[in-house]
Structure 1
Amino acid sequence: MPSKPSRPILLAMALALSAVEIGVFATFAWRGPALREEGPRPSIAEPRAIPFGPMLQNLRGAIVETARLAEPAAPAEIEEPPTSPPRARPPSFLAALPPLAPLEPTLAIPVAPGEAPLPPARPRNLPAEPSAATALPPVAVSPPAATQALALAETPPAHDQAAPRRDDGNFRLGAAVYVRIFKKEGELELWRKQGERYALYRTYPICKWSGRLGPKLKSGDYQSPEGFYSVSARQLNPNSHYHRAFDIGFPNAFDKQNGRTGAALMVHGACKSVGCFAMTDRVIDEIYGAVEAALRGGQHEVPVHIFPFRMTDLALAKETQGDWTNLWAAPPEHQQWSGFWQNLKEGYDLFEQTGEPPTAYACGSRYAFGAAGGSCRRIAGW
């Protein structure tokens, strides 16, 4: 162990340090005060000059600390580990618990990964209760590609399968039908025969019709027709450029007698019209299907009656004469069709009264209904 420095040596060291400090102070005093530099204040990260006075003071404290550490340290006390508190004795009134019975050894059967263990067998002494077999979860196995291709090849296409007769409670495919169109309202009504009368099945919005109110007069006028027409099986077109279509039969006998021309006026799909009634593909599928089924079911022809508007007395007067609800009188072109529309209203009223589409005849400048003379021709399909 090194010997402790004597007191005279320590005193000499302290005097030497004091002399050094006095000399340094005298040197700085001789040089004069330092000029203050102009410039930005140094940041924390930059080194800064430390005054010598505090530095020497720290050096003196370090010497004193060195002398203190040179003294022998007192032996450290050994800390004894804490002793656990004594266990509390159970009360005397509690009876001692009986020892645990040893568990019976069980036979461990290894189960292959991915296999579920089977349920225990049902005892034979329960004959009255049916046994319930626990179904194992199904394992999805993907068939090979060749098997899938064979299954697809054997599946018949949907259009080759016979379509069942539909009966949704309000309409049965194969029943007689009647079609009624209103241009101003933009509606097509599908009626079906129910007993002795026709009942309205559904009203469809017309996607597009062309022209204005009034009959079609000549080819190329882009006018949708008005009048009484009839559709036979020859007028159906399941492969139309507009999905499905049926020709209404323009010009009919009345149109021919009055010099009106044109052709190929249809009720079809899509939503484009140059004289036809476009119903969209989804709607024409239902209308076309009902008309085709009715013709296959025995109906000889399907009547298609086209009106400028719903032919009530009030509507006819408003469109041909005007009334106080209009800010102006009826258009002149409406007034010129007043007699023609009055003739169409006769057929409209007959259906409203009887529930049966009237048989129309072309008798020169007007339509006749029911019985007609020898000069009249019945409105018929092709």
Structure 2
Amino acid sequence: MTAVSLTSTIGLRRTRGVLALGLLVGLGLLLATMLLSVLFGAADIGPSEVLAALLHPNDSTEHLIIRTLRVPRAVVAVLVGGALAVAGAIMQGITRNPLASTDLLGINAGAAFGVVVAVYLLGVSSLLVYAWFALAGALLAAALVYLLGSLGGGAPTPMRLTLAGAALTALLGSLTTAVLLLDQRTLEQVRFWLAGSVAGRDLHLMLQSLPYIGFGLVLALLLGGQITLQTLGEEVASGLGQRTTLVKALSTLAVVMLAGGAVAVAGPVGFVGLVIPHVVRFFVGVDYRWVLPYCALAGGMFLVLSDVAARMVLRPQELPVGVMTAIIGGPCFVYLVRWKVRR
């Protein structure tokens, strides 16, 4: 082995070591933000009482609030935020479009439309049943975006997919609004859910969606190296022996599972999948074998902190977390658009 190759190997190992250490640090920060979420709420409960509720629970009101409301809320926020961030990173990698995300390419709108139609036509009232219709709507939206992006012959390009997603998002949003205007009962039932919220979600609901999100996350992590090749261009990926059609299909399946499961639990929370992947790539580079796990941690932290802020701004009242992510993510989206235009 030459001196140059030896130096490169050592440097690569050091880089991997630093990134692995960063994951451990990120996990610690995630646990810290979850603890922060458990500490703050409408009821004033001291840190010592919170610690007692976690380690030695009893049937007191404070301990019930911690165990049945705040802990599940923090866990759901981590699950939803991580799923949306990973789904957004996959879409940006596959389409090679820095502005791609589940809410801009119709996935969230499809999931929301599926739930609203189920409530309107079938009278569905359980959040546990929402998951099936959210997944069906997300899958249908993904298929329609791909079909529209393929019109005119040839493989769908990133620009075609973006335009198709924007058009489908507008259409499904209009149809969802029409259904809500036609039926007051449906509006009353889903209006808070449509704003995006993790309030009142229990562990049973999380366990209902965990298989979908877990499957999507595992599939995404397994595809990390293949998605990295996709970012180099389809011709390059094909030249390196990648079966690009299969990779795109599996990546789309992962996105649908992640986004559909997340929307079923918390509603269509926006901007997480758009902003977090850019922040992560700024620190860890473009290797999706590292980008995706970092997105899972950063997305969870972002949504937990957004939920804490949503509870504290108008305390004792609270904003839906989807409103808070829009307040934070909106300026970031404008910056990304201006940065892309300058480039």
Q: Which category describes the TM-score, using the shorter chain as reference length?
A: under 0.3
Q: Which one has a larger percent helix, Structure 1 or Structure 2?
A: 2
In the superposition, the TM-score normalised over structure 2's length comes to 0.23
Q: TM-score, normalization: structure 1?
A: 0.22
Structure with the higher strand share, 1 or 2: 1
Larger Rg computed on CA atoms: 1
Q: Which is bigger in relative contact order (C-alpha 8 A, separation at least 6)?
A: 2
